[in-house]
Amino acid sequence: MRVLSGIQPSGALHLGNYYGAMKQHIELQHGHECFFFIANYHTLTTVQDAARLRQLTSDVALDYLAMGLDPAKAALFRQSDIPEVTELAWILATVTGKGLLDRAVSYKDKVERGIAASMGLYFYPVLMAADILIYRSNLVPVGKDQVQHIEMTQDMAGYFNNTFGREVLVRPEPKLNEAAVVPGLDGQKMSKSYGNSIEIFLDARTAEKKIKSIKTDSTPVDAPKDPGACNAFALLRLMATPEETAEWERRYRAGGMGYGEVKKRLVELYEAFFGQRRERRAQLAARPDEVEDILRDGARRARLVAEQVMHDVREACGIVTVR
């Protein structure tokens, strides 16, 4: 069973990204063959500044490694280091009806948000399908917003196999990240674009300031409180053990506890978990050659598969190559 996912390098990761996506990625490395790549070609649809894209790309690599991705287990690499991906994307485009792409919800959403309606943005789902199919991936862990793209990938695999009469491409299945939506400081979904994030690599003081600014209601200290309606509790349950969470739940309902206490505990939990990893990230950032070696080794492993699949694809559709 091969697991694959792509991560857009689009800025500092926050608790929503970690608990909603990255944590499951890292856990899957135990027990599955895992490929994780940095989707820099996809990000080129929104970031068109060379220095910034380079920086964002190496930032994601550092983030994943610092959070525990083990390069001996999972292959971590840049999308752009596997040229077969863009080659396959073209071939998939030739068997895919334009109507399929017209139905893509994320294209419409992005254009509504002001992102340039480039051909690249329109073509995004085809490139994503190539990312997945080039490794004969079985399972693709993603958030809900990406499920339509995986369904389109399943369709494209079918179009190719039917057109050329061979089962060359493997149908992938989405695996939904089970973590519910992580709320931000204001209680809305935590998101970079809402300015309500708690990033995962904040220095201790900034983290404390942010955590203290989590919006809570004005229930007096003495009164019982509803843990289900509290943003601070929603974050606490992600970071604390189940036993500790249960104890806080009891204290909420009993009354006599202020939100300040919960936030204080959140600050401690944040620092105990992310503080250590922040150090590890700083150490890795000081050794860029080592990180580059990890990415190259990941690309080498991924490419062994990509070359084989691309060979089968070319053969199935009659593209003659001299190699």
The site partner of 182 among ligand TRP, ligand ADP, none (C-beta below 5 to 8 Å per kind) is ligand ADP
Task: Check binding of 20 to ligand ADP (CB under 6 A).
Answer: yes
Binding mask 34-73 for ligand TRP (x = CB under 6 A): -----x--x-------------------------------
Task: Judge residue 172's burial from the number of C-beta atoms within 10 Å of its C-beta, 0-12 exposed, 13-18 middle, 19 or more buried.
Answer: buried
Asked if residues 298 and 75 have their Cβ atoms less than 8 Å apart, the reply is yes
- Scan for tokens 């294209």, then name that residue: 107
Please confirm, yes or no, whether 212 is among the known catalytic residues. no
Q: Report in angstroms how near the CB of residue 192 gets to ligand ADP at its nearest.
A: 4
Task: Check binding of 134 to ligand TRP (CB under 6 A).
Answer: no
Please confirm, yes or no, whether 175 is among the known catalytic residues. no
Residues 6+ apart with CB under 8 A from 209: none
The residue from 128, 168, 182, 234 that contacts ligand TRP (CB under 6 A) is 128
The pair of three-digit structure tokens given for residue 68, joined into one six-digit string: 């525990």
Find the part of the chain contacting ligand ADP (CB under 6 A) among 12-20, 33-41, 120-128, 149-157.
12-20
Strand order in the sheet with 33-38: 75-78, 33-38, 2-7, 139-142, 173-176
Contacts of ligand ADP in 81-140 (CB under 6 A): none
Please confirm, yes or no, whether 110 is among the known catalytic residues. yes
Q: What's the distance, Cα to Cα, between the start and end of the chain in Å?
A: 30
Q: How many residues bind ligand TRP (CB under 6 A)?
A: 12
The site partner of 193 among ligand TRP, ligand ADP, none (C-beta below 5 to 8 Å per kind) is ligand ADP
Distances in whole angstroms, Cα of residue 288 to Cα of each of 13, 59, 161, 296: 20, 11, 42, 12
The residue from 24, 29, 58, 146 that contacts ligand TRP (CB under 6 A) is 146
Query: What count of other Cβ atoms lies within 10 Å of the Cβ of residue 62?
Result: 18
The residue from 3, 140, 157, 168 that contacts ligand TRP (CB under 6 A) is 140
Paired with 183 in beta bridges are: 189
Contacts of ligand TRP in 3-32 (CB under 6 A): 4-6, 8
Task: Check binding of 190 to ligand ADP (CB under 6 A).
Answer: yes
- Scan for tokens 């500092």, then name that residue: 12
Paired with 37 in beta bridges are: 6, 77
The site partner of 153 among ligand ADP, ligand TRP, none (C-beta below 5 to 8 Å per kind) is none
Task: Check binding of 192 to ligand ADP (CB under 6 A).
Answer: yes
- Positions annotated as catalytic residues are 110, 189, 192
